[in-house]
Amino acid sequence: MVYKKTIGEKAFDIFNVLFLILASIVFLYPLWFVIISSVSSATAIASGDVTWLPKGINFSAYERVFSDSKVWVAYKNTFIYVGVGTVINLVLTTLGAYPLSRRDLRGRNFIMMFIVFTMFFSGGLIPEYLNVRDLGLYDSRWAIWLPSAISAYNLIVMRTFFQSTIPDGLIESAKIEGANEYRILWSIIIPLSMPVIAVMTLFYAVGHWNSWFSAMIYLQDRSLHPLQLLLREILVASQTNDMMGGVSSGDVVAVSETIKYATTVIATLPILVIYPFLQKYFAKGVMIGGVKE
C-alpha cells in the first residue's frame, strides 16, 4: 500500500523547503558577498554596485595581499600552531581521559569534579597572564600551546568514549597476558579509539586555526603572529599601509576595502575547503559526547 501525504503534510513540506532555502540564502549571502567583493574593482565596491555578482573582475587585491611578506609569515605560524598544538592537545587529553575512565582509579570522581568546575569558573585573564609571564612563556610559541593544552569538554568526551566503548574484559585480558598500562593504552585503547581521536583532532585543529586572542595578549613579536591576528589588524585597525603601494590618495579607502575582503577569503579558505569532507566528524563528536554510562 502506497502512503499518500495529506494536503496538510504537503503544505508543511513545501513550507519547510522554502524556509530552508531562505535560511540558506540569509546565511550564505555574507560569505558570497565577501568572495565577490574580493575580486571586484575598488570603484564598484565604493559606489555600492556590488550586490549579487562581481563587477570589474580583477585579482589585484589578492596580488597585494600575497606580495606582503607578513601574510606568508602569519600563514606559516598558523600551521605551526595548529600542527604542534593539536599534537600536544591529543597527547595530554588522551593521557588524562584514559586513567579517568578506569573504574579502579581511586578518587576519579573527585578529580572529575575539579575538571568540570573549570568549565564554569576560571581565575580570569589577569591571573592567567601573570602565570604565563612568571613561567617565562611570554612572547614565545609556548604561550599559545600550554595554556590551552587540554579542553575540559574534550577530556570529558574522550573519557565517555573510553568508558562506553572499550570493554573492561578486554583490558583485564591484556593484564592477564602481562601487559602494563602503557602497553594497554598504546596497543589496545588507541587503535580502538580512532573515531574519537579523529573528532578531537578536528575540534582542536579548528580551535587553533581560529584563535587570535591569546596571540594578541601574549605575543609582542610580530614574527610570531598567526594569520587570524593579522586578519584582525587588517579588519579592525585597517592596517593595510604595507599593501597600498602605487595607490593614489583618492583610491586608498576603496582599495583598502578590497584588501580586507581578499584577506578574509585567504584566512578562511582552508576551513571552507576541508569542512565539507569533515562535517561527518562534527556530527559524530556530538553523538559521542551524548553517550552516558
Alpha-carbon distance values, 192 to 149, 162, 170, 175, 213 (Å): 23, 9, 11, 17, 36
58, 41 in Cβ contact below 8 A?
A: yes
Alpha-carbon distance values, 126 to 132, 133, 218 (Å): 10, 11, 12
pLDDT at position 293 over 50: no
Report pLDDT for 136.
92
pLDDT at position 289 over 70: no
Report pLDDT for 231.
86
The C-alpha R_g of the chain, in whole angstroms, comes to 25
- From the list 153, 248, 158, the residue with the least C-alpha distance to 198 is 158
Report pLDDT for 47.
81
Instruction: Work out the pLDDT band at 80, boundaries 50, 70, 90.
Output: very high
Taking the C-alpha atoms of residue 291 and residue 163, their distance in angstroms, rounded to an integer, is 10
Measure the N-to-C terminal CA separation of the chain; round to a whole number of Å: 42
Report pLDDT for 7.
83
Report pLDDT for 291.
47
In this structure, is residue 135 part of a structural domain? Answer: yes
Instruction: Work out the pLDDT band at 138, boundaries 50, 70, 90.
Output: very high
- From the list 47, 20, 50, the residue with the least C-alpha distance to 35 is 50
Domain limits for position 110:
61-293
pLDDT at position 189 over 70: yes
Taking the C-alpha atoms of residue 38 and residue 259, their distance in angstroms, rounded to an integer, is 7
In this structure, is residue 213 part of a structural domain? Answer: yes
Segment 256-272 mean pLDDT? 85
Give the domain CATH number at 202: 1.10.3720.10
pLDDT tens for each residue of 87-132:
999 999 999 999 998 888 888 889 999 999 988 888 888 999 999 9
Burial of 34 (0-12, 13-18, 19+ CB in 10 A): middle
Of 87-91, 178-182, 221-225, 232-236, the range with the highest mean pLDDT is 87-91
Report pLDDT for 103.
83
- From the list 52, 71, 73, the residue with the least C-alpha distance to 61 is 71
Q: What 3-state DSSP class applies to 140? A: coil
Neighbour count for residue 290 (Cβ, 10 Å): 9
233, 264 in Cβ contact below 8 A?
A: no
| Count of structural domains, the chain | 1
> Chain-wide mean pLDDT for the chain?
84
Instruction: Work out the pLDDT band at 243, boundaries 50, 70, 90.
Output: low
Name the E strands within the chain.
none
In this structure, is residue 132 part of a structural domain? Answer: yes
Segment 122-151 mean pLDDT? 91
pLDDT at position 247 over 80: no
210, 272 in Cβ contact below 8 A?
A: no
- From the list 125, 149, 129, 127, the residue with the least C-alpha distance to 137 is 129
Question: What number of residues does the chain have?
Answer: 293
Kindly state the percentage of the chain with pLDDT values over 70.
87
Neighbour count for residue 175 (Cβ, 10 Å): 13
In this structure, is residue 220 part of a structural domain? Answer: yes
In this structure, is residue 44 part of a structural domain? Answer: no
Report pLDDT for 275.
74
205, 82 in Cβ contact below 8 A?
A: yes
pLDDT at position 288 over 80: no
In this structure, is residue 73 part of a structural domain? Answer: yes
In this structure, is residue 6 part of a structural domain? Answer: no
In this structure, is residue 7 part of a structural domain? Answer: no
pLDDT tens for each residue of 20-61:
999 999 989 998 999 998 888 888 887 888 888 888 888 888
The angle subtended at Cα 248 by Cα 245 and Cα 251, nearest 5°, is 105
pLDDT tens for each residue of 192-207:
888 888 888 888 998 9
